[in-house]
Amino acid sequence: MKADLKEFISRFRRSRSACAGLAVLVIVVIAVSLSGMIPSGGRDEIDLDRSLEPPSAAHPFGTDAFGRDLLLMVLRGGRISLTVGFVARTISLLLGIALGTLAGYGGRRADSIVMRLADITFAFPTLLLLIAIMAVATPGLVTLFTVLGVVGWAAMARLVRAQVLAVREREYVQAAMAAGAGHFKIVAVYILPQCLSTLIVVYTIGLGMTIMAESSLSFLGLGVQPPAPSWGRMISGGIAFMRTAPWLTLFPGLVLTLTVCSLNLLGDGLRDILDPKMFSGAKTIRGGF
């Protein structure tokens, strides 16, 4: 175990993409987390006299249309965007593991039912499906968590199913079955741990796509509702001031881009580290939302 951990750390240090992605992600998460603990000093209060001030030493990102410090609002908006991304992606992960395991281990009938449900989900463009559901659903964070999580399960389930079908045919799994081990023990002890590396990579890469999906819905007014800030809502609100105050869309968009790119870099690096075939140069299917 210690040898495996040392090898993982050694490979991680040699992976430039993983190190760069993790560094940027840690900076963003720390800054976003500390934004709620540091006294605002009135910078988050409406003051029309300071409306649309350009970036300066006092306001590094400038101010918004209400005179609030844009840097502070971007960081606070990041708390919501990151929280929605993590929670929704975790829901997708749990659903994908449960249904993918059922499809791969539960027999032909269970496999057929789960995969047909996945095919129905894949038949609709993801963003259009999200827009259609959110347009008729009650707005709110709980609804956003649920919708993003449920819509994103199919890709995860297919990958888990493929892993389960491959692992269940290995000799040690067949030996456990012959020894009379229960189905739960076989799945939890012998099968799912072998899928862990793939799940970590797909979760990391898919997390960035989930954050983008949340930002897209908020941009359209179907995600996080006022007065809660969100990167998507901030970008949408700044479009009307593109000529006079471009920083209103520039900085939220830049932070969103850096966050998603860092997650993609980290996911690509982890894929090379955790998958021996990928580490030797082979390619696998990229995990999607």
Mean pLDDT throughout 79-94? 91
Instruction: Say what the pLDDT of residue 271 is.
Output: 84
Banded model confidence at residue 2, pLDDT cuts 50, 70, 90:
low
Domain boundaries, the chain: 29-41+61-279
Full 3-state SS string of the chain: CHHHHHHHHHHHHHCHHHHHHHHHHHHHHHHHHHCCCCCCCCCCCCCHHHCCCCCCCCCCCCECCCCCEHHHHHHHHHHHHHHHHHHHHHHHHHHHHHHHHHHHHCCHHHHHHHHHHHHHHHCCCHHHHHHHHHHHCCCCHHHHHHHHHHHCHHHHHHHHHHHHHHHCCCHHHHHHHHCCCCHHHHHHHHHHHHHHHHHHHHHHHHHHHHHHHHHHHHHCCCCCCCCCCCHHHHHHHHHHHCCCCCHHHHHHHHHHHHHHHHHHHHHHHHHHHHCHHHHCCCCCCCCCC
Instruction: Say what the pLDDT of residue 253 is.
Output: 94
Banded model confidence at residue 58, pLDDT cuts 50, 70, 90:
confident
For the stretch 170-216, pLDDT in tens is 888 888 888 888 888 888 888 888 888 888 888 998 899 999 999 99
Instruction: Say what the pLDDT of residue 176 is.
Output: 84
For residues 167 and 194, the answer to whether their CB atoms sit within 8 Å is: yes
Banded model confidence at residue 275, pLDDT cuts 50, 70, 90:
low
251 pLDDT more than 90: yes
95 pLDDT more than 90: yes
pTM: 0.84
The percent of residues in the chain predicted with pLDDT above 90, rounded, is 30
Instruction: Say what the pLDDT of residue 190 is.
Output: 85
Q: Which CATH number fits domain 29-41+61-279: 1.10.150.120, 3.30.420.40, 1.10.3720.10, 3.60.21.10?
A: 1.10.3720.10
